[in-house]
Amino acid sequence: MANLRKTYGDVVAVDDVSLTITTGECFAILGPNGAGKTTTVEILEGYRSRDSGEVSVLGVDPAHGGRSWRAQLGIVLQSARDLGDITTHEAVAHFATYYPAPADVDTTIASVGLTDKAAARISTLSGGQRRRVDVALGLIGAPQLLFLDEPTTGFDPQARREFWVLLQQIKAGGTTIMLTTHYLDEAEALADRVAVIAAGRVIALDTPDQIGVGEDDSVEVSWRQDGRMHREFTTSPTSFVGELAAVLGGEIPELVIRRSTLEDRYLALIDQAQSSTS
């Protein structure tokens, strides 16, 4: 997409957004509520019109995408589908009829780890298992591109980690993934690249370990000396620790080296963006 723009009256939801997503990668969009993430994704999915800009998804303008184009997309919304008392197998088999060349139903159910729940009614599944059903419904059309909107909201830590493994397996199978999430550790674990959006604009774009990193990005080194804790920020932690070890004669008591996390840098980027517009 290039120079994408969308307004609602006087409110600019998406303001000159340009992004290129590579086939086979997991691309994450981060940003606070109201930043323009959902509007951007809905335009890419073909469910919302744009005011201006150029968009191409799988070689097609989403505004004019037909059924054959939509069949190449998998979409997992933030809210789970209400499927009543049908079974997992019945739900996946039913959705398979919507596609011209669906994936195998049993294989798809197995791919999301629900083989032993295929005959179970969806109303009896746990939240994490229901979310896996949502992903199975997104995959049954054998999509080239999978959209995931806040996929692990409400998950407990163990369920989230298990879901990450599932998504990594899906990506390894060649599916391109576009992910929106509020969990910074999720983006760090899954995404090849991350875009941070604030007030409808892309304010940073890079890999999770490099986004928001500047030349002056310092590392915190802390240690115990003379009975109290000391702390130093340095851009050359290896040299600093070597010099400190020489001064202390070897081992450095309670040494901790802390580099900035994605969350640290994300919050700094958002704070900077908000300060510049206030």
- Given this model, what pLDDT does residue 78 score? 74
- Whole-number pLDDT of residue 212: 84
Rg of the Cα trace of the chain? 23
Q: Tell me how crowded residue 138 is: count the other CB atoms within 10 A of its CB.
A: 23
The beta-strand segments (E) located in the chain are: 2-8, 11-17, 26-30, 52-54, 73-76, 145-149, 176-180, 193-198, 201-206, 219-225, 228-234, 256-258
Q: What is the pLDDT at residue 166? A: 86
Please tell me the predicted confidence (pLDDT) of residue 40: 94
Rounded to the nearest 10 degrees, how much is the dihedral formed by the CA atoms of 103, 108, 111, 114? Answer: 180
Query: Residue 30 has what pLDDT?
Result: 94
CA distance 12 to 201: 10
Rounded distance between C-alpha atoms, residue 179 and residue 153, angstroms: 13
Question: Which residue type does 134 have?
Answer: D
User: In angstroms, rounded to a whole number, what is the distance separating the alpha carbons of residues 133 and 91?
Assistant: 8
Tokens of 30: 């981060």
Q: Which residues pair with 12 in a beta bridge?
A: 7
pLDDT of the residue at 70: 93
The pLDDT value given to residue 278: 58
At residue 216, the pLDDT reads 63
- Relative to beta strand 256-258, strand 145-149 is unpaired
| pLDDT reported for residue 60 | 96
Question: Which residues of the chain register pLDDT less than 70?
Answer: 79-81, 215-216, 277-278
In CATH, 2-206 is 3.40.50.300: yes
CA–CA separation, 261 and 27 (whole Å): 18
**Structural domain spans, the chain:** 2-206, 219-277
Q: Which string of b and e fits 188-203 if b means at least 16 CB within 10 Å?
A: bbbbebbbbbbbbbbb
pLDDT for the residue numbered 275: 79
pLDDT at 20: 95
Contact by Cβ (8 Å): 193, 204: no
What's 121's DSSP letter? B
Torsions phi, psi for 19 (to 5 deg): -145, 145
